[in-house]
Each structure stands twice: as C-alpha cells, then as structure tokens.
C-alpha cells in the first residue's frame, strides 16, 4: 500500500511543521485554563490528536493557531470543565458593569511605570492573582487577546460568539482585572490609594457614531 | 470626541480594532489630550505586564514526543485497516485491490428526525458516516454489559441506545462512543466481524432512505445506497432505520442488516 502510506506520511509531515511552532502557546493556554501541569499536558495532547484527525477540515489560508486554540477551547469546555461543578457564566459576576474611571491618575502612574525590579515583580504577582480570580470565560478572553494577541474576529471564532460580544466581554474582563489589581496594589502599598476620579458611565461607540452622522 | 468615549474604547484602540475613521479621530484626540495619553500609556503598559506575567509558559520537553507517539498510533490505524470508506473511492480501489471485506458500517436511525438544512441530504450524510468510520475514533465505553452502554448514552442521545445483537457468531461487540453526524447526536458502536472492523451508528435520520434502492432479504425489506462502489444497506423496522455500509459482500451486508436484533 505504498500510495496510501505516502499520503499519510506527507499529511503527517505537513501537520507537524504547522503545529509544532504553536506548542508553547497551546501549553501556556492549557496551563492557565486547567491550572494543573498534568491536565495541561493531557489537554494539549488531546487537542493535537483531534486536530490531526480533523486536519482535512482545516481551511488553508486561515489562522492555524486560532484553529488549534478553538479545538483546545472546545476540548477544555467539553471534557475538563464538565467534571467540575464550577460553572461561572457571564450572567454571573461578569454581568456587573465595571466603572470606567476605576483608579486615580497617581494609581495609574504607579502601575504604568513600576520603580525597580522588586516592584515590577510585586505587580506581576498581583496581575497573576487578579487573573486567577477571573471566571473561566474572562481568563480565556484575556489569554486570547492580551497573551496570544489574536484579532477580535479570530477570538470570535475560537469562542464561537459574535465580534460585538468579544468586545464587551474583553472589555469587562480587562476592567475586572484592573479593579482587582488596583485594590490589592493599594492594600499592599505598591501604590497610594486615592479616589479623586469619578466613576463614569460607559458610552457606546455607536451613540458617538450616530451623533456624528447626524451632525454632518 | 469626549475623553469618556476615548477612554471607554481605549482597549479596542490599542488592539487596532476600531474602524479606520474612528481610529484617526482617536489619534487626533489623544495628541491633544494629556489626560487620555496617560490612560493610553497605562493601557499599553498593563497589556505588556499582563503578557509577561501570565503568558510564556514553555511546554515540557517530552510533550511533543508524547504527542507524536499518539499520532503514530493514528497513522498505523489508518494504514492498517481503513476501510472501504476512503473518501475517494477510486483511489481506494487502486490501493486496496484485495482488501475486500475490511470493514462495515451499520447505521440505525430513528424515523423522527431533527430538522436539517436542505443541502444536508442523504448523500452528505452518507459521506459523513464514511468519514466517521475512516477516522476510527477510540471507544469511550469498552465492551461491557449492555446496561453499561445504555447508561453511558443516557442523556447524551435523545433516544435509548443498546448494542445490537447478531446471529453471526463471529460478530463481537468491542466498544462504543458518543459522536455527531452533521448536527445530530449519534452513537457509534464498534464490532468485529471475523477480524474486520464494523461500525454501527445510531442516529435519527429519516432522510437516509430517501432515493435509496429497495430489495427483500429473508422476508425483510432492505434499502441500500451505492456510494463510490461501496454499498450502504438500510433496514427499517418499528420506526427505526438500520443501515450497513461496507465493501464486504453485499449478501453478507444484507444478511447482517436483516438479522440484527436492536429492540430486545
């Protein structure tokens, strides 16, 4: 069966060349999703096995990393999360609107330009802690956007939701991270707490666009 | 453009996800507004710090090798015993001149079907069934007491699933797994017939007998489709469809379909 073996070998080689550069991204994401190195390894392996089985379904020219991450998200949601009773949805804590003006200028400056390695490490630790407190969905948004730097369109495909939903979920996730980071940073004395900023209401971009359209 | 608006959508601005016109307006505002510049610096810096803090885990050295080992197993399975169900039948025929009777698929479907788009007709479904078989997915539940299998599928499929029984003594039940055919939940039951892989799919598919040909075996009415030189055989009984697929002698297929005991 030389022809068949050859076909398999060619496909296999293509897959390896395409997949291997994304191994660290997959593992990094899996580790953050499962919070366990053992589970993360299993998740990555299951993801790659599934991807290889369905390799013929991959549309050439689209983002392979996004495709792998989508498979991994689905595998995670179906297998690993189903096992735990925890199921945080955006209707839960994520539905609470987060004010825009969450911190003062002084606080912002303190977090923007950490002074010295010690402070940098402290803030990094606090970002980690704040991140771990987020819901599964919010963590996925931050990972896909801020760590993997996927476009909103790609994130929409990975998560399986409209782009508008990506925008609002991502915004909320980032704000939650900032609020949590800020509160702890003040408590730890990394930055000084003061509350001279007002809490602002979010303004939808559409309102601005339509206002602008009316003017012109 | 207000500071409020700019700050609200600063994230999308940093991500480069605003439409070009709005992007330019944002840039114009930012140039003239020190307050928003500070917000921008914060947004950018926090993005960088987040990436550095939570990203960048490196996969352990052995993970890639471990994965390749699993891929080897898939390749071996594909090379060893795939099936009449090669996606391109002509090619399969050239490659496997003697490997007749390599495998068979038996499909059992309820008559009450889920609504499916018009383009997903029986031909597309048959193709999906073939692909599912050629992928040779592993069992989720091993050959156990029928009750174990029934329990496994409970809640997964909208119909109860039992491993079918056959008169042929060489037909052995191996295992089963949950699967999807198109958008439908389905059960795949794996058998072995004298060394040849046999897959039994259970799903709701009234369309599968559409345009099928018809014959009689042992007093039973049998439908069948010719698909790329292979044959899918379907039996209807008590509101259920039974279909066999494979390159094994069609008389054997017809007999399996006619004698399968599903409702017991």
pLDDT in tens, B241-264: 666 665 567 777 778 878 887 766
- Rounded Cα distance between B111 and B98, Å, is 37
- Rounded Cα distance between A131 and A118, Å, is 20
Domains of chain A: 2-83 (1.10.1740.10), 93-200 (1.10.10.10)
Which stretches of chain B score pLDDT less than 70?
80-125, 128-136, 143-144, 182-183, 195, 204-208, 227-230, 236-248, 263-264
Give the SS3 label for residue B131: helix
> Closest residue of B to A53, CA-based?
B135
Q: Which pLDDT does position B91 carry in this prediction?
A: 32
Q: Which pLDDT does position A4 carry in this prediction?
A: 63
Q: Which pLDDT does position B230 carry in this prediction?
A: 66
Pairing of strands B230-237, B220-227: antiparallel
On whether the CB atoms of residues A71 and A50 are closer than 8 A, the answer is yes
Q: How confident is the model at residue A196 (pLDDT cuts 50, 70, 90)?
A: very low
What's the angle, vertex CA A128, arms to CA B61 and CA A114, rounded to 5?
Answer: 110
Q: A215 — contact with chain B (CB < 8 Å)?
A: no
Query: Which sequence spans correspond to the domains of chain B?
Result: 3-54, 84-259
Q: Which of A94-103, A105-114, B20-29 has the highest mean pLDDT?
A: B20-29
3-state SS of chain B: helix, strand, coil percent to 5? 40, 25, 30
b/e per residue A101-126 (b: at least 16 CB within 10 A): bbbbeebbebbbebeeeebeebbbeb
Give the tokens for residue B75: 């390749």
Chain A residues with CB inside 8 Å of B9's CB?
205
Beta bridge partners of B103: B197
Q: How many helices (H) and strands (E) does chain B have?
A: 9, 9
Phi-psi region of A86 (alpha: psi -120 to 50; beta: other; left: phi over 0): beta
Q: Which pLDDT does position A68 carry in this prediction?
A: 94
pLDDT in tens, A138-148: 999 999 999 99
Q: B139 — contact with chain A (CB < 8 Å)?
A: no
Q: A79 — contact with chain B (CB < 8 Å)?
A: no
Pairing of strands B103-110, B196-203: parallel
> Is B95's CB within 8 Å of A8's CB?
no
Q: How many helices (H) and strands (E) does chain A have?
A: 11, 0
- Rounded Cα distance between A134 and A38, Å, is 22
Q: How confident is the model at residue A102 (pLDDT cuts 50, 70, 90)?
A: low
Q: A113 — contact with chain B (CB < 8 Å)?
A: yes
> Is B42's CB within 8 Å of A143's CB?
no
ipTM above 0.95, yes or no: no
Chain A residues with CB inside 8 Å of B177's CB?
none
Selecting from B51, B70, B75 the residue whose C-beta is nearest the C-beta of A146 gives B51
To test the contact with chain B by mutation, choose from A34, A35, A48, A179 the residue with the greatest count of B C-beta atoms within 10 A, namely A48
Q: Please, is B16 exposed, middle or buried when counting C-beta atoms within 10 Å of its C-beta (0-12, 13-18, 19+)? A: exposed
Of B44, B146, B136, B232, nearest to A112 (Cα)? B44
- Rounded Cα distance between A41 and A47, Å, is 10
Give the tokens for residue B191: 């058998």
pLDDT in tens, B186-245: 777 877 787 677 777 777 666 667 777 888 887 778 788 776 666 777 776 655 566 666
pLDDT above 70: percentage of residues in chain A: 75
- Rounded Cα distance between B10 and B15, Å, is 8
Other Cβ atoms less than 10 A from the Cβ of A8: the count is: 17
The enclosing H or E element of B216 equals strand B213-217
- Rounded Cα distance between A169 and B39, Å, is 20
Please measure the distance between the N-terminal and C-terminal CA atoms of chain B and give it in whole angstroms.
73
- Residue A7 or B25, more confident: B25
* Dihedral angle of Cα B68, B69, B75, B78, to the nearest 10 degrees: -140
**How many alpha carbons fall within 13 Å on the CB side of residue B127?**
10
Q: Please, is B119 exposed, middle or buried when counting C-beta atoms within 10 Å of its C-beta (0-12, 13-18, 19+)? A: exposed
pLDDT in tens, A39-78: 899 999 999 999 998 888 888 777 899 999 999 998 888 7
pLDDT in tens, A183-195: 887 777 777 765 5
> Closest residue of A to B62, CA-based?
A41
- Rounded Cα distance between B135 and B231, Å, is 19
Phi-psi region of B229 (alpha: psi -120 to 50; beta: other; left: phi over 0): left
b/e per residue B29-62 (b: at least 16 CB within 10 A): bbeebeebeebbebbebbbebbbebbbebebeee
Give the tokens for residue B105: 């698929």
The enclosing H or E element of B200 equals strand B196-203
Chains A, B: CB contacts within 8 A come to 150
């Amino acid at each position: 069966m030389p022809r068949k073996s050859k076909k398999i070998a060619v496909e296999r080689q293509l897959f390896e060349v395409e997949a291997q550069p994304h191994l660290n991204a997959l593992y990094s994401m899996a580790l953050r999703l499962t919070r366990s190195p053992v589970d993360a390894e299993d998740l990555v392996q299951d993801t790659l096995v599934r991807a290889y089985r369905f390799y013929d379904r991959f549309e050439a020219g689209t983002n392979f990393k996004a495709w792998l991450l989508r498979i991994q998200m689905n595998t995670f949601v179906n297998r690993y999360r189903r096992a735990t009773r925890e199921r945080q949805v955006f209707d839960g804590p994520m539905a609470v609107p987060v004010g825009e003006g969450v911190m003062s200028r002084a606080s912002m400056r303190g977090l923007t330009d950490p002074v010295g390695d010690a402070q940098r490490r402290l803030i990094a630790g606090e970002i980690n802690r704040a991140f771990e407190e987020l819901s599964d969905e919010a963590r996925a948004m931050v990972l896909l956007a801020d760590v993997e730097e996927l476009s909103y369109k790609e994130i929409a495909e990975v998560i399986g939701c409209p782009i508008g939903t990506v925008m609002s979920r991502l915004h909320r996730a980032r704000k939650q991270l900032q609020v949590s980071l800020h509160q702890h940073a003040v408590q730890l004395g990394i930055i000084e707490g003061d509350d001279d900023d007002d809490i602002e209401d979010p303004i939808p971009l559409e309102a601005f666009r339509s206002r602008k359209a009316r003017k012109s | 453009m207000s500071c409020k608006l700019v700050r609200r959508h600063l994230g999308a601005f940093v991500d480069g996800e605003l439409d070009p016109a709005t992007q330019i307006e944002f840039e114009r505002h930012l140039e003239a507004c020190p307050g928003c510049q500070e917000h921008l610096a914060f947004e950018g810096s926090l993005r960088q710090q987040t990436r550095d803090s939570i990203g960048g885990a490196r996969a352990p050295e052995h993970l890639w090798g471990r994965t390749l080992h699993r891929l080897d197993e898939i390749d071996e399975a594909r090379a060893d015993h795939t099936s009449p169900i090669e996606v391109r039948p002509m090619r399969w025929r050239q490659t496997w001149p003697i490997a007749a009777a390599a495998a068979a698929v038996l499909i059992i479907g309820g008559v009450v079907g889920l609504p499916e788009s018009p383009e997903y007709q029986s031909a597309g479904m048959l193709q999906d069934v073939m692909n599912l078989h050629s992928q040779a997915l592993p069992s989720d539940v091993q050959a156990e007491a029928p009750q174990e299998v029934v329990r496994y599928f409970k809640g997964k499929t909208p119909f109860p699933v039992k491993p079918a029984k056959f008169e042929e003594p060489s037909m052995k039940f191996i295992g089963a797994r949950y699967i999807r055919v198109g958008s439908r939940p389905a059960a795949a039951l794996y058998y072995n017939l004298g060394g040849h892989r046999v897959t039994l799919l259970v799903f709701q598919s009234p369309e599968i007998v559409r345009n099928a040909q018809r014959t009689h075996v042992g007093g039973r009415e049998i439908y069948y489709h010719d698909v790329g030189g292979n044959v899918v055989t379907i039996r209807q009984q008590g509101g259920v469809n039974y279909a066999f697929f494979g390159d094994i002698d069609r008389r054997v297929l017809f007999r399996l379909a006619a004698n399968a005991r599903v409702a017991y």
